[in-house]
Amino acid sequence: MVDDDRDSGEGTPLGRQVGRKAERKIRGRGEKRRTVWFGLGMFGLVGWAVAAPTLIGVGAGLWLDGHYPQGRVSWTLTFLVIGIAVGCLNAWYWVRQETRDD
């Protein structure tokens, strides 16, 4: 018969390392203490979550204005608004993920 420790992998160095990391992750999820660094990181994440789609939208709008000019419609403004909307939805998603109680 095969030893139970071998089947579970707990006796191997890799098994012990995975176990330690899993325990640390479980402990980390249990702690609800938020530090200043967490707040700054979330601030940066939300900022980039809004800025990136907005800049992509402006770039796409400028390209469309250059290649397909319209008299009454500004593609740049249209895609700017779409980029801001997508960015706000993206930021809302990330904030909700980080503040959700597991």
Q: Are residues 54 and 91 in the same domain?
A: yes
For the chain, what is the domain count? 2
Which tokens is 89 given? 């939805």
Q: Are residues 23 and 7 in the same domain?
A: yes
End-to-end CA distance of the chain, in Å? 40
Q: What percent of the chain has pLDDT over 90?
A: 32
pLDDT of 82 > 70? The answer is yes
Q: Are residues 19 and 64 in the same domain?
A: no
- Is residue 83 within 8 A of residue 55, CB to CB? The reply is yes
Q: Are residues 8 and 47 in the same domain?
A: no
Work out the average pLDDT over 6-11: 58
How buried is 39 (Cβ within 10 angstroms: 0-12 exposed, 13-18 middle, 19+ buried)? exposed
pTM: 0.60
pLDDT of 9 > 60? The answer is no
Q: Are residues 25 and 55 in the same domain?
A: no
Give dist(CA 79, CA 72) in Å, integer.
15
Segment among 9-18, 48-57, 88-97 with least mean pLDDT: 9-18
Q: Are residues 25 and 38 in the same domain?
A: no
Work out the average pLDDT over 11-31: 81
Q: Are residues 38 and 22 in the same domain?
A: no
Predicted local distance difference test score (pLDDT) of residue 25:
79
Predicted local distance difference test score (pLDDT) of residue 101:
53
Give dist(CA 80, CA 54) in Å, integer.
6
Q: Are residues 27 and 43 in the same domain?
A: no
Give the residue numbers spanning the domain of 71: 34-102
Mean pLDDT score across all residues of the chain: 82
